[in-house]
Each structure stands twice: as structure tokens, then as C-alpha cells.
Amino acid sequence: MFSSSILKRIQKEHTQWRAKYFKNSAAFECMLVLNEEMIEEVLTLIPDEMQGAGPVKALLHSIGRTNRAYVKSIENIRGGSELWQAKLKQELGDVGIAWVGFIDMLGWDAEEILNKRWETVKTRDVHDKRE
């Protein structure tokens, strides 16, 4: 599916991009942390019988669990940071699997989509307010 060099390249470039636009990690973390209730609310808006909603709901569930593990790892509670970081890795893997599964269901190429989108995103000045 993905060649490891593609993901490693994008991850390295993302690290440089993040360092350029988010000088302190707190600003980037604020952008990432979602309100768990918001995710649950969005999920309630998608009826179970809605045709084709399965992959979107799977992604949202995975993102919600990822967010919970991330917040708990920062808070260092209920088992400690190490436990929640392990859980976070697991949940991020689930997000990736749900994402790739959705793309595969559509018959598209996940690597092509990721590469094409990253080429656009990495050129953005995130502080530029223009659309």
C-alpha cells in the first residue's frame, strides 16, 4: 500500500513545516485537541441507516478514541502517561487503517492522495488568513 520511504519523507517534511509555523508545541497541540463531546455530537447526526456512512463513522470513532488517549497522556492520569501513549499509538494505527480502508473501498490510491495533498499543504503559510 504505502512505501515506507514515502511516509518517512512526509513525516520529516511535516516536522520541518510544523517547526516553521508553530514555534511552540502548545499552539500545535491546541489545534489538534478536539472536544470529545463534539465528536460524539457529530456521530449522533449521522443515522446508522444512512447508506455509505460506515467508513465516515469508523474514522470519527477512531479520531475520538485517539483524542481521548492524547488528552489522557498529557494529563498523566488513569494509568499514567506511558500507558496512554501506548494506547495513542494503537488508536493512531486504527485511524490509519480506517482511512486506508475507506480509500480502498472507493477504489482510490491512498499513497497518491496523501502525496498530492501534502504537496499542497506543505506550501501553505498557516498564518496567512486568505482562503
Higher pLDDT, 91 or 105: 91
For residue 19, being part of any structural domain is answered with no
Residue 60 has pLDDT above 90, yes or no: no
In which domain, by residue range, is 38 found?
A: 25-107
Length of the chain: 131
For residue 7, being part of any structural domain is answered with no
For residue 117, being part of any structural domain is answered with no
For residue 89, being part of any structural domain is answered with yes
For residue 74, being part of any structural domain is answered with yes
Taking the C-alpha atoms of residue 59 and residue 101, their distance in angstroms, rounded to an integer, is 10
Residue 62 has pLDDT above 60, yes or no: yes
For residue 126, being part of any structural domain is answered with no
| Residue 20: predicted pLDDT | 75
Q: List the alpha helices (DSSP H) in 22-128.
A: 25-32, 36-44, 54-75, 81-106, 110-121
Higher pLDDT, 62 or 1: 62
Say if residues 72 and 84 touch (Cβ distance below 8 Å): yes
Taking the C-alpha atoms of residue 55 and residue 51, their distance in angstroms, rounded to an integer, is 10
Domain count, the chain: 1
What predicted TM-score, i.e. pTM, was given to this entire model? 0.67
Taking the C-alpha atoms of residue 131 and residue 128, their distance in angstroms, rounded to an integer, is 8
For residue 125, being part of any structural domain is answered with no
For residue 78, being part of any structural domain is answered with yes
How does residue 68 score in pLDDT terms, banded at 50, 70 and 90? confident
* Per-residue pLDDT tens digits for 98-126: 888 888 888 999 999 999 999 998 888 76
Taking the C-alpha atoms of residue 11 and residue 17, their distance in angstroms, rounded to an integer, is 10
